[in-house]
Amino acid sequence: MKKVFITRKIPETGINLLKEKGYEVDISPEDRPLTKGELINALKAKQYDAVLTLLTDTIDAEVMDSAPTVKIYANYAIGFNNISLDEAKKRNIYVTNTPGGGADRVAEHTWALILALSCRIVEGDSYMRNGKYKGWDPMLLHGTKLAGKTLGIIGTGKIGADVAHRGKHGFDMNIAYYDVVRNESLEKDFQAVFYPTVDEVLKIADVVSLHVPLLDSTRHLINSDRLKMMKSSTYLINTSRGPVVDEKALVSALQNGVIKGAGLDVYEFEPDLAKGLAELPNVVLTPHIASGTEEARHDMAIISASNIIDALEGVTPRNQVSY
Ligand code: GLV
């Protein structure tokens, strides 16, 4: 009987799919990410054929060596920076992700952060709850109009394109973008303008939204120098991966008015925040929930389980990833 280990509870739909195939499925009983030692011990307990991992699991050479029978690490996430692709390749192990699961929802969450900042929703809410509202005031909590302004998108895969779609057709924004390859459909469908460098987008955008995978080349893509290139009226949004932004540099930029505000769903040292970030009034922070809807979590469970079934039934998994 084929054996699958799931590193933390996921929606039943995915688990049932694996059980219906006749696989033996073990799920970590902990309601938290396993430590590396715990994960290795769990994997050594049986000869597992597949592991369903979360983005909080680091799957490196040591983990792979502890489970030599594993044929696939099926990540329950769109991102896959937590798994060493080079090490997997050396061992002929598949790595998969869940690209269709929640990309549109991440775009919606990106927009929730943009609007929360531009309409000052969080500050307004706390103003009301703290009994500060004494009546209409023409000078109170001025926000920022988005129509006619420029939305700069760095990375135009499915999520970046969905953000552009909403920006163009929902909020009448002009779209500027950078990607390693030109995105013709973005240019045709949303009149998006391509810039050959990140810097050029940063210099002209009123809102910058990051949608790149975390790679060596994108770590600290937004650093102190690049923050200084942005206009002081610009909002930075990050729903990709925390280390794409140098968070310490971001805090300093926000404290000193280098940029106007930031909307973040991901953090450089999750779950910790850079010193001073949570005290800033010009940030909106959410706990890595951009794809966190019932529908998306269900889809991700089905997709990751299906990838495992593909691999264990001798088919190339539908969402195999590679650089
Ligand atoms: C969430 O961050 C994901 O990669 O799905």
Compute the average pLDDT of residues 17-43.
Answer: 98
Instruction: Calculate mean pLDDT across residues 200-213.
Output: 98
Q: Respond yes or no: is residue 219 known to be catalytic.
A: no
Residue nearest to atom 1 of ligand 1 (CA): 77
The DSSP output letter for 167 is I
Q: Which of 53, 286, 291, 307 to mutate to test the pocket of ligand 1 (most atoms within 8 A of CB)?
A: 291
What is the set of domains in the chain, with CATH numbers?
A: 3-100+294-322 (3.40.50.720), 103-285 (3.40.50.720)
Q: Residue 288 CA: which ligand 1 atom is closest?
A: 2
The answer to whether residue 241 is catalytic is: yes
pLDDT tens string 159-201: 999 999 999 999 999 999 999 999 999 999 999 999 999 999 9
pTM of the entire predicted model: 0.95
Distance, CA of 149 to CA of 288 (rounded, Å): 27
Active-site entry in 105, 109, 120, 241: 241
Which residues 6+ apart lie within 8 Å of 310 measured at CB?
316, 317, 318
| 202-225 burial: b if 16+ Cβ within 10 Å, else e | bbbbbbbbbbbbbeeebeebbeee
pLDDT, tens digit, 9 for 90 and up, residues 99-111: 987 899 999 999 9
Atom of ligand 1 nearest to the CA of 300: 5
**Which numbered atom of ligand 1 lies nearest the CA of 79?**
4
The preferred substitution site among 52, 53, 54, 55 for testing ligand 1, maximizing ligand atoms within 8 Å of CB, is 55
Percent of the chain topping pLDDT 70: 100
Q: Averaged over 35-49, what is the pLDDT? A: 98
As a whole number of angstroms, the distance between CA 44 and CA 40 comes to 6
Q: Which of the four pLDDT bands, split at 50, 70 and 90, describes residue 44?
A: very high
- 105 flagged as catalytic: no
Categorize the per-residue pLDDT at 323 as very low, low, confident or very high, splitting at 50, 70 and 90.
low
What's the Rg (C-alpha) of the chain? Answer: 21
142 CA → ligand 1 middle, Å? 33
Average pLDDT, the chain: 97
Contact by Cβ (8 Å): 106, 78: yes
Please list every protein residue whose CB sits less than 6 Å from any atom of ligand 1. Answer: 55, 77-79, 291
Task: Give the pLDDT confidence score for residue 307 in this predicted structure.
Answer: 98
Distance separating alpha carbons of residues 268 and 271, to the nearest angstrom: 9
Q: How far is CA 64 from CA 39, 45, 68, 92, 304, in A?
A: 11, 14, 7, 11, 19
Distance separating alpha carbons of residues 54 and 62, to the nearest angstrom: 17
Going from the Cα of 88 to the center of ligand 1, the distance in angstroms, rounded, reads 20
The answer, yes or no, to whether residue 52 has pLDDT greater than 80, is yes
Order of all β-strands in the sheet with 235-238: 193-194, 174-178, 150-154, 207-210, 235-238, 261-264, 283-285
Whole-number pLDDT of residue 322: 72
Q: Can you give the pLDDT at residue 122?
A: 98
